[in-house]
Each structure stands twice: as C-alpha cells, then as structure tokens.
Amino acid sequence: MFSGVLIEKDEQGYHAKVKQLDDSVLMQGDVTLKVEYSTLNYKDALAITGKSPVVRQFPMIPGIDLVGTVEQSDSPQFKVGDQVLLNGFGVGEVHCGGLAQKARLQSNWLIPLPKAFSPSQAMAIGTAGYTAMLCVIALQKNGVSPDKGEILVTGANGGVGSFAIHILSKLGYTVVASTGRLEESPYLHKLGAAEVIDRQTLSEPGRPLAKERWAGVIDSAGSHTLANACASTQYGGVVAACGLAQGMDFPASVAPFILRGVTLVGIDSVMRPIEDRIEAWQQLGDIIDPTVFADVAVEVSLGDVVSTAQALMDGQIRGRVIVNVNK
C-alpha cells in the first residue's frame, strides 16, 4: 500500500482526497518508481478542483511532474537505483501521475535526473521552469538577443513567469514583468525584473496595433493579454505563447503578423520530444542560480495538496509548490 491523491467521479460528483492505494490503481508501464517529490502546477490545480476537464480517465492520480528512483525496470534505458525525472506526456491526465508515493510509467517518457539538481530542486523547476526555458530557447532561435530590446513576461508571479524572469535576466535580457499582484514587485525585482507593470494595462480589449515596445514576449495568460502583447511587439519581434491563465481565446487581428512581421511561437511542453527536453534541462543546469530556489518555491506535504490546489486557483500562491510525497 502507498499514499496518493486520488481523483474520483461518481454519482455524488467529482472529488479528490489523499487515500491509501494499492498497485491495482497504477497503469501500464515498463518502469516502476519510488516517487520522492512531485509538484503542484496550475494544470494540477485545475484537475484537483475540477475547474476544468483536465482529467479524462477516472480514478486518476494527478501530478504532471515527478522525480523518483527506479524500483523495477523492464527497459534497457534504466536500471534499479537510477534517479529519473518526468514532465508531462499526459501523466496526471490520462495516466496516473506524480502525486503519490509510487508510479508506473513508460520509460520513453523519462529522462535522467540532471546532475546539476537535487530531486527537490528539479521539482522546484518542474514543468513551469522547463516550459520557461523552452520559451527562452524559442526567442533565441528566432533571433531575439539581449541587445534587441525589452522582453515582456506575463503572469510574472506564477511558476513559468518566475523562472522566465530569472533565466532571461541571467542571460542579460532586460525584463518587464506583468502581474496582477503589484505588492509582489520586490520579489519580481529580486528575480531580475527591471520593471513591473500592472496586468490591467494588457488584460482588457485593445487596438489591433499599439505602440511598438517588446522585442520578445513570454506569455502564459492567453486571451486579451496575448493579443495586446502581439499588438505592441516590435517589428520582427517574437512572442512565445505557453499558457491560458486568462483564457483560451485569442481576440486579435493579423495586423502584427503581416504589418510588423511578428512571429507567434506556440510552446508545448507536454509532448515535447526527448531531445528538446534534455536540451532545456541542460541549459537550466547551466543558467539557474541555486539561491533562487528559496525565493521561488515552497514545500508542502501530500496531505496539504488539496487545500493548496484551491489556494493556487484563488491566486494566493506565488512561484512554485514542491510536494514531498513521503511527508
């Protein structure tokens, strides 16, 4: 038996709680892990609270991130005792995920735990930091260098936003952070933001084209925020879109793309090829300052997950939530 968060749906409705589970709840896979840490992401909070139909199979152990030690392996890629890392691949949505003390997974979803990070540090980064790195790589590969101008980061107090600010500033970019919690400005400046602006300047309906400002954008909001970010991006600038915290809609025009040559790059972290994941994690190992973890992440126990998920949905959580599944 092992402990885990289980989401169930029955005639009484949709509910999530920590339960004692046995191996019968686990799904097919060629590697079995003793999970050490998981995380609580926005997608996990949506799943646990039932605010969005993230989970497509019940019962389900949520948790799109995990790090653990191989206990059993039928794969030549990994042996007993290896420490491995997982982000995405539908885990926590259609395959039981990381918010439990045990997981059974497909080996082709896993990468070795990077030597630069401890298990808890890797989960402090998690899908959020890995996604932020993919966004930065997209800006770089599309020619956005630090000398080109300011980079806008929306949803700045969230996990993606926090790591995007830190990564960009370490690489020499000038970062402008957009947030709905201006009281957190000291935190954002400490991460490396040169300026903090109120998200309301971007979150309302705007014009098809606005004054050119941003050389690049990392957006986790979607909706009007993404539309306005595109409208105010410089000629030849690049916008990396990776989230939908404001909404899935995109109420924009083609004007920024056909009149200013703006590039909109979609960033998917869930089904990303393994080679892209390894590249991103290698760069994270080279760039991340370990002192950032104390500012960006908070650790909770498995028993705190359900209440913390609601707090995250209510906008009360800053940065990242690490889950010690053995506490």
Helices (H), the chain: 42-49, 119-141, 159-170, 185-191, 200-203, 223-231, 255-259, 274-287, 293-296, 305-313
Backbone angles phi, psi at 293, to 5 degrees: -60, -35
pTM of the predicted model, to two decimals? 0.94
pLDDT of residue 265: 98
Is residue 232 within 8 Å of residue 187, measured between CB atoms? no
The model's pLDDT over 160-175, given as tens digits with 9 standing for 90+, comes to 999 999 999 999 999 9
Judged against a pLDDT cut of 90, whether residue 184 lies above it is answered with yes
Share of the chain above pLDDT 70, in %: 100
d(CA 284, CA 132): 10
Nearest to 133 by CA among 107, 82, 95, 168: 168
- Mean pLDDT (the chain) is 96
208: pLDDT strictly greater than 90 = yes
User: 318 or 66: whose pLDDT is higher?
Assistant: 66
Q: Which fold does the domain 129-266 belong to in CATH?
A: Rossmann fold (3.40.50)
Q: pLDDT band for 53, please (50, 70, 90 cuts).
A: confident
What is the average per-residue pLDDT within 80-89? 97
CA triplet 194, 196, 200: central angle to 5 degrees? 150
How is 1-70 classified by DSSP, letter by letter?
-EEEEEEEEETTEEEEEEEEE-GGGS---SEEEEEEEEE--HHHHHHHHTSS----SSSB---SEEEEEE
Residue 228: pLDDT over 90: yes
Exposed e or buried b for every residue in 266-300, given b needs 16+ CB within 10 A?
ebebeebeeeebeebbebbeebbeeebbeebbeeb
The pLDDT-based confidence of 318 (bands split at 50, 70, 90) is: confident
Each domain of the chain, given as residue ranges in start order, spans: 2-116+288-324, 129-266
Residue 141 predicted with pLDDT over 90: yes
pLDDT confidence of residue 325? 97
- The pLDDT, as a whole number, for residue 319 is 86
Please say if the pLDDT value at position 11 is more than 90.
no
**Superfamily per CATH, domain 2-116+288-324:** Medium-chain alcohol dehydrogenases, catalytic domain (3.90.180.10)
